[in-house]
């Protein structure tokens, strides 16, 4: 039995996955070696980002076999780093407010996701679920936080909007910093590339890596370890 996994390994699904919340993050501060993202007092290591990225790529690789949307590994590596950062923000805010992501919408989406990835190898499944469930998880936390802020007076969409404002305030106070090598920022609810490195792209391959949209032709010229798909 085959399964379809939504993945940031394609430009279309990357855009759908990354439009998560109304956050405004930058990555201009110093960051410790080996750290991918500093989220308030918590850190996400580069090793963790690489682990999830590798698992995710392996899970969706059969779907990309022979397709034109073979992508540069760096694209979804940066996207996954941003997704893990958003999950960390949600984890920390939910702990501060004493809430959980238990909305009916989230629980239903999580159930459907688990069913959808049943055919994914077990050792890869947790990484896929962690990434794919992120948009629903973040929204569920926002709704729970917003319900507290509004004292339960409102509809689900109003709770989400109020929770989103609390996310913005938390980030402004606590900060989120990405390792410049990830070329990743979160702004206006979208995780996107942003060249924050101190080096300059000289070769055609390097310049392709800094493009806003993935170059499938350039990606196919890379080694297997540098790309997702064949």
To the nearest whole number, what is the mean pLDDT of the chain? Answer: 74
pTM: 0.72
Count the alpha carbons within 13 Å of 100 in the hemisphere toward its beta carbon: 3
- When pLDDT is cut at 50, 70 and 90, the band that residue 28 belongs to is very low
Token pair, residue 113, equals 């996701």
- What distance in Å separates the CA atoms of residue 35 and residue 43, rounded to the nearest whole number? 7
More confident residue, 85 or 215: 85
- What distance in Å separates the CA atoms of residue 159 and residue 78, rounded to the nearest whole number? 29
- What distance in Å separates the CA atoms of residue 210 and residue 215, rounded to the nearest whole number? 10
- When pLDDT is cut at 50, 70 and 90, the band that residue 118 belongs to is very high
**Average pLDDT, stretch 1-14?**
41
Residue 160 pLDDT more than 90? yes
Q: What are phi and psi of 210, to 5 degrees?
A: -100, 0
pLDDT, position 196: 47
Residue 127 pLDDT more than 60? yes
Q: Which range has the top average pLDDT, 16-20, 61-65, 210-214?
A: 61-65
Q: How many helices (H) and strands (E) does the chain have?
A: 9, 7
Residue 26 pLDDT more than 50? no
- What distance in Å separates the CA atoms of residue 68 and residue 123, rounded to the nearest whole number? 27
- What distance in Å separates the CA atoms of residue 25 and residue 160, rounded to the nearest whole number? 19
């Amino acid at each position: 039995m085959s399964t379809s996994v939504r993945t940031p390994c394609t430009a279309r699904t990357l855009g759908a996955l990354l439009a998560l919340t109304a956050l405004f993050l930058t990555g201009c501060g110093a960051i410790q070696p080996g750290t991918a993202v500093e989220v308030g007092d918590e850190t996400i290591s580069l090793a963790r980002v690489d682990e999830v990225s590798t698992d995710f790529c392996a899970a969706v690789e059969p779907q990309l076999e022979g397709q034109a949307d073979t992508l540069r590994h760096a694209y979804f590596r940066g996207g996954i780093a941003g997704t893990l950062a958003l999950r960390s923000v949600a984890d920390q805010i939910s702990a501060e407010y004493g809430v959980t992501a238990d909305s009916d919408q989230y629980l239903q989406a999580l159930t459907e996701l688990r069913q959808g990835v049943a055919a994914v190898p077990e050792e890869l499944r947790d990484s896929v679920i962690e990434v794919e469930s992120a948009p629903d998880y973040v929204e569920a936390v926002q709704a729970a936080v917003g319900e507290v802020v509004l004292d339960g007076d409102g509809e689900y969409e109003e709770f989400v909007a109020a929770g989103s404002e609390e996310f913005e305030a938390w980030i402004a106070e606590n900060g989120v910093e990405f390792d410049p090598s990830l070329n990743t920022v979160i702004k206006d609810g979208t995780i996107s590339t942003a060249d924050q490195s101190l080096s300059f792209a000289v070769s055609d391959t390097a310049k392709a890596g800094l493009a806003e949209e993935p170059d499938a032709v350039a990606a196919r010229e890379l080694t297997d370890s540098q790309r997702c798909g064949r």
